[in-house]
């Protein structure tokens, strides 16, 4: 590389330490078609998350100075051959994600960036023999990042802009564009289906609930094609209901549909990549508001599964709508695997912080595959117990179960035990609590922002089922 660009080797080794976040800029001598060379440090043993974050940071700092075409040299770094396709995918994803514009409702005119994702012209210098695999992984990197950009916009959208109905419209549009079936149930249809827990949560809001059912079938499928079911919590705004949340951070509760966004992103990306898996994704979506008609602590409600639920805390509403989604999916589609994703508990945030989502399952093989997909995608999971000894936390004296233990401990676990009750003992079910990772602090942002966590994780897991 040093010889090709006519840069002194001693200068490069002296200036570049290859540490994380390091950006070095050089101006080649006697190179008419090459004006600037950026050297980006990835640190030791970089993961795909590190690569993506590095390129996102680079774009956020340098996008306005870049031309519409870039040449990426990954052939001169003497990388491990197995790392080259990961590097190529991460570079493309990071560059595209770095174009995300956070001020979606700002009225002030801002300087137009020279570099936009839809103007992407990338040339790769790769080691010999890696041309085809790099082409394949860059296509995946682009497809993933473009879907993640959509998910970032959804999770960051204010609740008056993204209502349950608007979320349903986004799903319908995506299905038409990428070739999967979408069915949206309105208030009348939800009642007819018997989704009583979803109805109960929504009864305090003027915005009617929606129940979104999406189904992707691969072009070629047979008896050995895996069937996977996903369920995403779609609370477009959560006041906590009568068990109202504190005001200091309530504005962030527009992000309480992060699980729904991840599930929508996963089915869209699965369809785009045409993965050979039969995928069904269900999103129960509603607001949780305070009103004269709102659900009250002490109420007993029904559910799609025919089980009764005592309401202890109206702020434990996500598990109620997920219970209906899981039971509906299981009864009507009989998937081989069921995975639900939700920004469910503050308890999980206290336990794992902002680095990993909580994983709950009694299936060892499913746990291993999800953890592997998390490590591979950079969207990591940590397994927490789902032991029978926790069942006492959801026992009710008046109904089949209660929605909250009332204890200030093990909140994420008792929530998972509640959901397990509605799986009808499905042998391959997993619950992902992504409360700490779907929305958080980020460099170059003054407030918390969406991460699109779960899209890459779930899609990598689905792809891994058919390798």
Distance, CA of 127 to CA of 103 (rounded, Å): 40
Tokens 């058919």 belong to residue: 466
Between CA 223 and CA 91 the distance in angstroms is 37
Q: What gap in Å lies between CA 238 and CA 34, rounded to an integer?
A: 52
List, by residue number, the catalytic residues: 245, 319
Comparing CA positions, the residue from 233, 169, 235, 246 lying closest to residue 202 is: 235
For Cα atoms 374, 378, 380, give the angle at the middle one, nearest 5 degrees: 45
Decide: 282 and 230 in contact? Cβ < 8 Å.
yes
Nearest in space to 462 (alpha carbons), one of 368, 348, 369, 323: 369
Cα 337 to Cα 201, 220, 334, 340: the distances in Å are 27, 20, 9, 10
């Amino acid at each position: 590389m040093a010889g090709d660009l006519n840069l002194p080797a001693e200068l490069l080794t002296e200036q570049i330490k290859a540490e994380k976040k390091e950006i070095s800029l050089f101006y080649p001598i006697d190179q008419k078609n090459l004006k600037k060379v950026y050297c980006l440090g990835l640190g030791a043993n970089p993961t795909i998350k590190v690569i993506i974050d590095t390129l996102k940071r680079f774009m956020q700092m340098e996008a306005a100075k870049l031309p519409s075409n870039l040449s990426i040299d990954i052939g001169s770094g003497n990388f491990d051959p197995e790392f080259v396709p990961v590097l190529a995918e991460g570079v493309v994803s990071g560059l595209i994600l770095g174009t995300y514009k956070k001020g979606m409702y700002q009225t002030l005119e801002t300087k137009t960036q020279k570099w936009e994702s839809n103007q992407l012209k990338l040339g790769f210098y790769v080691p010999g023999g890696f041309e085809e695999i790099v082409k394949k992984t860059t296509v995946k990197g682009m497809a993933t990042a473009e879907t993640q950009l959509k998910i970032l916009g959804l999770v960051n959208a204010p609740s008056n802009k993204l209502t349950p109905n608007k979320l349903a419209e986004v799903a319908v549009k995506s299905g038409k564009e990428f070739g999967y079936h979408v069915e949206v149930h309105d208030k009348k249809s939800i009642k007819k289906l018997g989704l009583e827990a979803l109805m109960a949560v929504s009864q305090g809001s003027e915005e009617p609930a929606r129940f979104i059912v999406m189904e992707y079938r691969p072009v070629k499928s047979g008896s050995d094609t895996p069937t996977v079911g996903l369920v995403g919590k779609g609370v477009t705004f959560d006041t906590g209901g009568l068990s109202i949340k504190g005001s200091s951070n309530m504005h962030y509760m527009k992000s309480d549909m992060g699980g729904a966004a991840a599930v929508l992103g996963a089915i869209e990306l699965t369809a785009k990549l045409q993965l050979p898996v039969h995928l069904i994704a269900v999103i129960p979506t509603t607001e949780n508001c305070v009103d004269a008609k709102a659900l009250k602590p002490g109420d007993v409600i029904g559910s799609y599964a025919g089980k009764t639920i005592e309401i202890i805390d109206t702020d434990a509403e996500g598990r109620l709508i997920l219970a209906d989604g899981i039971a509906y999916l299981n009864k009507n589609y009989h998937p081989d695997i069921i995975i639900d994703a939700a920004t469910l508990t503050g308890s999980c945030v206290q336990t794992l912080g902002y680095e990993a989502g909580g994983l709950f399952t009694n299936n060892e093989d499913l746990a291993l595959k999800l953890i592997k997909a998390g490590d591979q995608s950079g969207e990591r999971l940590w397994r927490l117990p789902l032991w029978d000894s926790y069942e006492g936390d959801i026992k009710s004296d008046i109904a089949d179960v209660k929605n909250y233990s009332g204890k200030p401990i093990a909140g994420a676990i008792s929530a998972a035990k509640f959901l397990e009750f509605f799986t009808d003992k499905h042998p391959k079910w997993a619950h992902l609590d992504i409360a700490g990772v779907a929305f958080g602090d980020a460099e170059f942002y003054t407030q918390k922002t969406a991460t699109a966590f779960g899209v890459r994780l779930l899609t990598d897991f689905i792809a891994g089922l058919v390798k």
